[in-house]
Structure 1
């Protein structure tokens, strides 16, 4: 079976909105417009067959309305995926799919990109905010690939960087922590996610407990039970490593580092660092 690169694929399926062998955008069964490709799920089998092709790139599909059924195939494994409005599907290089059971009002848009967004097929049900954010990115990509821009490749890559960051957050947002506290490891992993994102500014237990909809006492016990370390030890370890990194890898002043990491002043940061390293930040930088 032939494996298509993006340019070959775009030629076969007459995709109009494409940038080299890197990115392409298409609509399915939408209203006629400048960005729309000629996919009609009722009169043309293009959309049916394009997901059955083996490719060297990632396919992302965002469902605007209606529904359809995909039968995903990877090696000897099969998985049925029902897509409905505000669902996003990501398929990797390894999966092919059979598409069927379109509703009469089915509309979707897709992005093809020569980058990896997932290790295996993923389906996400997006809330209104995330759907709007991802839909806006899809539209920006469509506009960028269709028009002349001096910094076109940088603009497209920026859009995909933002899209990847949003996608990385989705599993945590869809984790029902407050309703399922029995899964302690899952709660701990979500805690770490928030800690890595916020430790530079937030190191209070209550901040993270509020994020997870649990009490500070419960979160403290859980983190200690799972990891053997306290929340404070987790946070201070990250802060110390970040100071070391900024001292060796940047030209930031001591005051700038203290402000960046939300210390009350430079002296507080110096005392914090000296307690852990046995030397001042300046001595560490000048070693």
Structure 2
């Protein structure tokens, strides 16, 4: 059993060190890089539904069958065959539902592994400068992207790890995704509105600061808005209030700490900047319907 020394992060090191898959022939993991040929055939025991995880490195994910309903940094996505997702490092992910036939191909790389970091917009997305990217590929784009995955997989299956070749192929894949993304944006008749842009900036701030900052004026000030206008904007855009989004983010962090750390409830309460453990327990039960200890023992 994995010791609970810190919140569970799905990292290359953790995946490499622990026996969490039944069929290792469908994955390859080395320092700074990993690739999964088939998530379904690998039979991983790592993921559970309605359990948040923090992804240390970024991911390039290609859905090849089935459907997945997932929350990534509080934003929900319905992903199915042909979807491509670029997940920025440090993302918190929670699987909400998954079909039995779901399968995906995944590339995991540390920032330092990618070449030409400052030369392309999609790479800026990848290293976390903006929100995550989700693209619905057409048939040609899907086959092309799948070919890149296959080239990278075939390369790592050689006797010696050809690091420079893999780096170049991953960089080429990211450049190609950039072209695909730009084509997708130009094909959309209604670009992102000012409200939607502010909403995404707000969500990014919540993901970064919610553990320590849980008041509307803080986020309004960061966005150069009045608290009243921020509340109105977020409600109109998402049908939820500013505080509802903040509370959801705090709950995600609390669940990770409860499940995958050695911290006691009062320590988690302190880490998440609650005034006292009693207040934290009441907050958690109101949000989850059970106490922190009950959740921890599930």
Task: Normalising by structure 1, report the TM-score.
Answer: 0.51
Which of 126, 129, 134 matches 1:123? Answer: 134
What corresponds to 1:9 in structure 2?
Answer: 15
May I ask how many residue pairs the two structures share in their alignment?
A: 166
Which of 15, 35, 39 matches 1:25? Answer: 35
Q: 1:135 to 1:47 in 2, by over 3 A?
A: farther
Inter-partner Cα distance in structure 1 for 2:188 and 2:68: 32
Question: Do the aligned partners of 1:67 and 1:102 also contact (CA within 8 Å) in 2?
Answer: yes
- RMSD of aligned Cα (Å): 2.9
Please state if 1:97 is matched with 2:93.
yes
1:81-137, Cα deviation, whole Å (9 max, x unpaired): 110110011111121111132123222111111137423311111111211111111
Q: Which has the larger radius of gyration?
A: 1
Secondary structure at the aligned position of 1:132 is classed as helix
Q: 1:162 to 1:29 in 2, by over 3 A?
A: same
Question: Do the aligned partners of 1:29 and 1:106 also contact (CA within 8 Å) in 2?
Answer: yes
Q: 1:145 to 1:105 in 2, by over 3 A?
A: same
Secondary structure at the aligned position of 1:165 is classed as helix
Inter-partner Cα distance in structure 2 for 1:54 and 1:21: 19
**Relative contact order, CA 8 A, sep 6+: which one is greater?**
2
1:61 shift after superposition: 1.6
Question: Do the aligned partners of 1:24 and 1:145 also contact (CA within 8 Å) in 2?
Answer: no
Question: Do the aligned partners of 1:3 and 1:54 also contact (CA within 8 Å) in 2?
Answer: yes
1:19 shift after superposition: 4.4
Question: Do the aligned partners of 2:88 and 2:132 also contact (CA within 8 Å) in 1?
Answer: yes
Secondary structure at the aligned position of 1:93 is classed as coil
| 1:162-201 correspondence to structure 2 within 5 Å | 162-177=172-187, 179=189
Secondary structure at the aligned position of 1:147 is classed as coil
1:20 shift after superposition: 2.1
1:26-46, Cα deviation, whole Å (9 max, x unpaired): 21224xxxxxx233xxxxx42
Question: Do the aligned partners of 1:66 and 1:104 also contact (CA within 8 Å) in 2?
Answer: yes
What corresponds to 1:71 in structure 2?
Answer: 71
Secondary structure at the aligned position of 2:69 is classed as strand
Inter-partner Cα distance in structure 2 for 1:178 and 1:101: 28
Task: Normalising by structure 2, report the TM-score.
Answer: 0.49
Report the more deviating stretch, 132-141 or 9-18: 9-18
What corresponds to 1:38 in structure 2?
Answer: 43
1:168 shift after superposition: 1.2
Inter-partner Cα distance in structure 1 for 2:47 and 2:16: 12
Q: 1:67 to 1:152 in 2, by over 3 A?
A: same
Please state if 1:155 is matched with 2:162.
no
Inter-partner Cα distance in structure 1 for 2:157 and 2:175: 24
1:57-89, Cα deviation, whole Å (9 max, x unpaired): 11122111211100122xxxx110110110011
Question: Do the aligned partners of 1:6 and 1:55 also contact (CA within 8 Å) in 2?
Answer: no
What corresponds to 1:56 in structure 2?
Answer: 56
Inter-partner Cα distance in structure 2 for 1:174 and 1:103: 27
Q: 1:166 to 1:146 in 2, by over 3 A?
A: same
Secondary structure at the aligned position of 1:46 is classed as coil
